[in-house]
Amino acid sequence: MGRRRETRVERIMSQTLFDLPSPTGPLTHVDFTPTRKAGLARLEAFLPQAGYAYARNRNTDRGPSDRSNVSALSPWIRRRVVTEEETLRAVLASHRFAAAEKFIQEVVWRTYWKGWLEHRPSVYARYEAELAGLTDRLGIDADLRERWVRACEGRTGLECFDAWARELQELGYLHNHARMWFASIWIFTLNLPWALGADHFHRHLIDADPASNTLSWRWVAGLHTRGKHYLARAANIKEHTLGRFDPRGLLEEGAEALTEAYPLPAPSPPPPGERLSQRRIALLLHEEDLSPEGWSLQADVVGICAPGGWIEGPADRPAARFSRGALEDALTRSSAGFGVAAEAPDDDDAVVGWALGLGVSEVATAWAPVGPLASRLGALSARLAERGVRLVRLRRAFDDRAWPHATAGFFRLRERIPGLLAALGEDGAQIDLK
Ligand SMILES: Cc1cc2nc3c(=O)[nH]c(=O)nc-3n(C[C@H](O)[C@H](O)[C@H](O)COP(=O)(O)OP(=O)(O)OC[C@H]3O[C@@H](n4cnc5c(N)ncnc54)[C@H](O)[C@@H]3O)c2cc1C
């Protein structure tokens, strides 16, 4: 696997030394084993809760040792180790639509964020530029750097915030409500830039997703639905943490929404998914879709690879550990399924060499929505093209059906949910939960 370069933010963080509080012992949590088998087992175990029980109980953050009121499926769904379609099919096989509607809507929120950003890639480019500017500032602004490090390390003195910061660092997972409170406190109580918070989440969350994460931070800040922000309130935290935390009098509960100079760009449809033209192809796997058994390929697969050097973040973090395991699991499964050898080339040169060695003129891969992987695929596509090999980015029918409705607010896509679910039946394939 290729060596990863430390990011500038990580370098600054490692040079900033504070006394860390000694943790009170390891946190216990859901078993995030990065295999499809474990993801399907988690789905099966959660199914009885996915109906009215989820609608009633999902907002309570019971703490890391009890995640029974939410699915905790996000690490698998994020990488499509378990797909949205099979999750929705399984839920509908266990519950009537009315009972499971809330859970179904939450799954579709992910689709919404992905589709929305596909229509406005410049919002992500601006986030990256803003982050680069802030990273420069961290190098020269000692006050900002100290406040940022304290927040990241969970040493602000705000008990709830510090507990979530530790949970994030150790486990890579936070309950949805805790993510909202954390982001809101980061922005409105600690007065830290939202883009640094989004970056901190992105580097630590085990389900880190460019669209869901960046746009959720913007939503909390009041930049997604302009002027409508999310303010964490002490009473709400006390109620929904079952009294574990009570930050009364400590939060900024009257702050105004953030503003930014740029208007939101008008939506512009993403380019269409691409199609294979050859009968003999190779497959390239990456973290946007690790279920190649669900791609409709009408071709002979002669080789499979997954570039190991593409995994983000230090190897000992929960997110990188999950990514590495999930890639290895997908390679093993698909190598056995297609009956071909699996490789893990280090870098783009090695991928080009691998494709040429197999003698293919097309390499199929999953569509990568806006984010670092899309940029990597763009660069690799150009390298392969120089050697006469076409990189074909395949998009799932589910995304093609949903994304055109993710151009404005969530409600527009929500109205389309019955149609999306009806189409799942047309796509066939019942899920096997064994
Ligand atoms: C500031 C902030 C940052 C976030 N960053 C991410 C991220 O990087 N990656 C990520 O997958 N989710 C992100 N979320 C959304 C949400 O918090 C997580 O998806 C959810 O908490 C995962 O836990 P779960 O699997 O138990 O969810 P459940 O409640 O069991 O939901 C089932 C599935 O639906 C999807 N989902 C649920 N809620 C949302 C939501 N609000 N937005 C998008 N998808 C949703 C997830 O795939 C989830 O696994 C973020 C939310 C906030 C407020």
Residue pLDDT, tens place only, 171-213: 999 999 999 999 999 999 999 999 999 999 999 999 999 999 9
C-alpha 142 to ligand 1 mean position (Å): 33
Residue pLDDT, tens place only, 248-277: 999 999 999 999 999 999 999 999 999 999
Query: What's the chain's average pLDDT?
Result: 92
DSSP 411: H
Domain with CATH 3.40.50.620 in the chain: 280-394
Q: Mean pLDDT over residues 403-409, rounded?
A: 97
- With a 6 A CB cut-off, is 109 part of the ligand 1 pocket? yes
Domain 280-394 has what CATH class?
Answer: alpha beta
- Residue reference for tokens 């992987």: 373
Burial string for 44-61 (b: 16+ CB within 10 Å, else e) reads eebbebbbbebbeebebb
Domain with CATH 1.10.579.10 in the chain: 130-240
What angle, rounded to 10 degrees, do the helices at 8-15 and 194-204 form?
90
Nearest-atom number in ligand 1 for the CA of 84 is 47
Distance of CA 402 to the CA centre of its chain: 18
Q: 36-118+402-426 has which CATH code?
A: 1.25.40
Domain with CATH 1.25.40 in the chain: 36-118+402-426
C-alpha 6 to ligand 1 mean position (Å): 27
Q: Which of 47, 74, 220 to mutate to test the pocket of ligand 1 (most atoms within 8 A of CB)?
A: 74
- Residue reference for tokens 């120089």: 386
pTM across the whole model = 0.94
* pLDDT > 90: percent of the chain: 85
Residue pLDDT, tens place only, 304-350: 999 988 888 888 888 999 999 999 999 999 999 999 999 999 999 99
Contacts of residue 140, defined as CB under 8 A and 6 or more positions apart, other chains included, come to: none
**Confidence band, pLDDT 50/70/90 cuts, at residue 10:** low
Nearest-atom number in ligand 1 for the CA of 74 is 49
- With a 6 A CB cut-off, is 106 part of the ligand 1 pocket? yes
Q: Which two tokens stand for residue 90?
A: 């399984």
Per the model's pLDDT, the better-predicted residue between 10 and 356 turns out to be 356
> Is 283 strand, coil or helix?
strand
Instruction: Give the separation between CA 76 and CA 82, rounded to whole angstroms.
Output: 5
Residue pLDDT, tens place only, 61-106: 999 999 999 999 999 999 999 999 999 999 999 999 999 999 999 9
* pLDDT > 70: percent of the chain: 91
Domain 130-240 has what CATH class?
Answer: mainly alpha
Terminal Cα-to-Cα distance of the chain (whole angstroms): 32
Q: Which two tokens stand for residue 290?
A: 């690790």
